[in-house]
Amino acid sequence: MRKGAYYTNEYRNLFSELGIDEKDVDAKVQDTWERLFTDQYPETQIYFETDDDMGYMVDTGNNDVRTEGQSYGMMMAVQMDRQDIFDRIWKWSKKYMYMEEGLHAGYFAWSCQLDGTKNAHGPAPDGEEYFAMALYFASKRWGDREAPFNYSEQATSLLIDCLHKGENNDGHPMWDPENKLIKFIPEVDFSDPSYHLPHFYELFAEMAAEEDRPFWKEAAEASRDYIRLAAHDETGLSPEYAFYDGSPNHIRGFGDFFSDSYRVIMNVGLDNEWFADSNTPVEVNEKVQKFFQNIEVEDYRRYKIDGEPFEEKSLHPIGLLASLAMASLATEGELSDHYVKKFWETPLRTGERRYYDNCLYFFSLISLAGKFKIWK
């Protein structure tokens, strides 16, 4: 049985396995980074800098800054060894998004205007978990400095709040303390399957506060089970929101396979690459790849999880293709190779909706190139 990269420190390059020259892979990764993070390519740029040594990722479809994007940008920066950009994004996030008082003290406001004004005073847990993992990796790769660049301390403090808020009637935790499942937002009792990152929780079980490490180990297994539970038995499609029993939660129309859902198979793929755990639900990825095998990118739509299509087209078709390619970290065969090749031949998205697609694109690119690494 294959062991994961956590144990071997060896990462597959699925592009080179298809015969693509490694120099071309390296060049594409660097070129894609520059297209997202520099002003040389305004048609694809999503990262911007301020005059006071800060930076932010813009959700170009909504013209705001989100903890999702900020934490993604930090993870991209640590993987690319760009501490300067990592620190700029973290500094902006701490200054404008971090909440020091009120019900959500210790969390980050999920959406801000480009000038830093908060659009909301509530958090979105996918941002917090990516912030924490990126901070731990930064600590391992570059070492801690003075606050707020004492990365590991910042990560540990954040995860303590994520688990223990509410114990003193001071808010709500981001993970349900009983079933160990991440919530959609702290105040509700349902989840978002795409928030489940068992491969992160395995590492939190080594890096977080010592008393919380058993929780994180249990959360990793709980999330692997939940991903399998929430995915449709035949299609493998997951809803954007789901109850703890895995059934779709159609509140505000989020019980179908749509934008958030794309990340589920990406997470399964990376979990398999890093840990290759016997409980990783690789069959979910196999089913989803099979479901889309005869559907062209331009025909991607919203779907009920049983596969019934809506008239509504996908808002992020390139993001969906990127996820189908990254899913190949947990699948094998001609269909797996098909998606990797198709993704390789597909450029970044341009235009108003480019942010989400291109975030998923970059994560898929570095993962398939064997460059989304664990720093420990």
Tell me the three-class secondary structure of 266-277, residue by residue.
HHHHHHHHHCCC
Q: How far apart are CA 98 and CA 121, in angstroms?
A: 9
**Cα distance between residue 30 and residue 48, in whole Å:** 18
Residue 277 designated active-site: no
Q: Is 29 helix (H, G, I), strand (E, B) or coil?
A: helix
What's residue 169's pLDDT?
84
pLDDT at position 171 is 93
Most distant CA pair in the chain, distance: 57
**How many other CB atoms are there within 10 angstroms of residue 122's CB atom?**
17
Report the alpha-carbon distance of residue 52 to residue 352 in Å, rounded: 27
Q: Among 356, 374, 361, which Cα is nearest to 126's?
A: 356
pLDDT score, position 11: 98
Tens-digit pLDDT string for the chain (376 aa): 789 999 999 999 999 999 999 999 999 999 999 999 999 999 999 999 999 999 999 999 999 999 999 999 999 999 999 999 999 999 999 999 999 999 999 999 999 999 999 999 999 999 999 999 999 999 999 999 999 999 999 999 999 999 999 898 889 999 999 999 999 999 999 999 999 999 999 999 999 999 999 999 999 999 999 999 999 999 999 999 999 999 999 999 999 999 999 999 999 999 999 999 999 999 999 999 999 999 999 999 999 999 999 999 999 999 999 999 999 999 999 999 999 999 999 999 999 999 999 999 999 999 999 999 999 9
Amino acid, single-letter form, for residue 257: F
Rounded to whole angstroms, the Cα distance separating 247 from 192 reads 11
Name which CATH class applies to 5-368.
mainly alpha
Structure tokens at 361: 């694109």
Q: How many CB atoms lie within 10 A of CB 211?
A: 10
| CB neighbourhood size of 167 (10 A) | 10
| Helix (H) or strand (E) segment spanning residue 301 | strand 301-303
Q: 49 catalytic, yes or no?
A: no
Give the residue carrying structure tokens 């919203």: 302
Q: CA angle, 109 as apex, 104 and 112 as ends, to 5°?
A: 155
Instruction: Say which residue the tokens 């540990």 belong to.
Output: 156
The answer to whether the peptide bond before residue 248 is cis (omega within 30 degrees of 0) is: no
Q: Indicate which residue of 59, 68, 192, 225 is catalytic.
A: 68
Cα 325 to chain center, whole Å? 15
CB 182 within 8 A of CB 190: no
- Write down the pLDDT at residue 1: 73
User: Residue 31 corresponds to which amino acid?
Assistant: D
Nearest to 348 by CA among 337, 335, 364: 364
The torsion defined by the Cα of 191, 272, 285 and 62, in degrees rounded to 10, comes to: 50
What is the model's pLDDT at position 2? 83
Nearest to residue 222, comparing CAs of 243, 239, 197, 205? 197
Run of H or E including 157:
helix 151-164
For the chain, domain boundaries: 5-368
| Pairwise CA distance, residues 298 & 314, whole Å | 9
Of the residues 87, 260, 277, 286, only one is catalytic, namely: 260
Task: Enumerate the β-bridge partners of residue 59.
Answer: 64
143: left (phi over 0), alpha (psi -120 to 50) or beta: left
